[in-house]
Amino acid sequence: MAAPRIDFKILPATEEDAFTLAQVEAVSNDEANEARGESNLSHVIFGPPSNARQEFRAKGLVDKMKNDTYARNYKAVVEEDGQEKIVGWANWFFYTEPQPIEFKDIDWPAGTNSKACNEFIQTLTAVRAKHQTGKKFGYLQVLATLPQYRGQGIGSSLLKVGLAEARELGLTEFFLEASDDGHDLYAKFGFVDVERVMIDLVPYGGNCESQVRAMSILPN
């Protein structure tokens, strides 16, 4: 039986939302539909959700909100018991001018496998640089929904809002890196595979390879 439909709204996210956004992202990634535990890329690379990692992530989000004029964050909000609750969010970058696509090692908090995190992000950054260097484009870095709110159209709405704003700014090309969970949704919006990246999780304590697919919408 299908879950009852819920009412939600899409709003700009603020600095005050940063820790909650980090929580939503961590739980969404750790409880992916397609992979759990030692076969879950996010769980193996970044570790299970923790306050320390979420505080670290929130600090980075606040810095981007304050200092990166290309960054946009949208939150999906429902009302429960008279209170607004963030149940999903999207992190976009609208590069209306070409920008360098470079990787710098990140100083991760204690308890994080820094080598795994940096090698993973470096790999994806190299793929993005290969396809997008010198271009104006919209980049979807994060699309996350709490597991119990999936299937309600929240991800689609966050995509629509971001794509619409980017197109108003004159952008016609878009790029993202898709997990298996998100791949079919992105395809519905016109994203096509441009490269498949296989990440071997075994050296980091996992039990398999996991794929990430670079996807794009190209100008007509």
HSE-up of residue 215 (Cα within 13 Å, Cβ side): 22
pLDDT in tens, 28-85: 988 865 555 677 888 888 888 889 999 999 999 999 999 999 999 999 999 998 899 9
176 Rama sector, left if φ>0, alpha if ψ -120 to 50, beta otherwise: beta
For residue 180, is pLDDT > 60? yes
For the chain, the straight-line distance linking the first and the last C-alpha, in angstroms and rounded, comes to 41
Task: State which CATH number among 3.40.50.410, 2.40.37.10, 3.40.630.30, 3.90.25.10 fits the domain covering 9-217.
Answer: 3.40.630.30
Of 9-23, 50-64, 105-119, 144-158, the poorest mean pLDDT is in 105-119
Contact 196, 190 (CB under 8 A): no
pLDDT mean over 187-213:
94
Contact 141, 92 (CB under 8 A): yes
Of 28-37, 141-150, 161-170, the poorest mean pLDDT is in 28-37
Q: 205 pLDDT band (50/70/90 cuts)?
A: confident
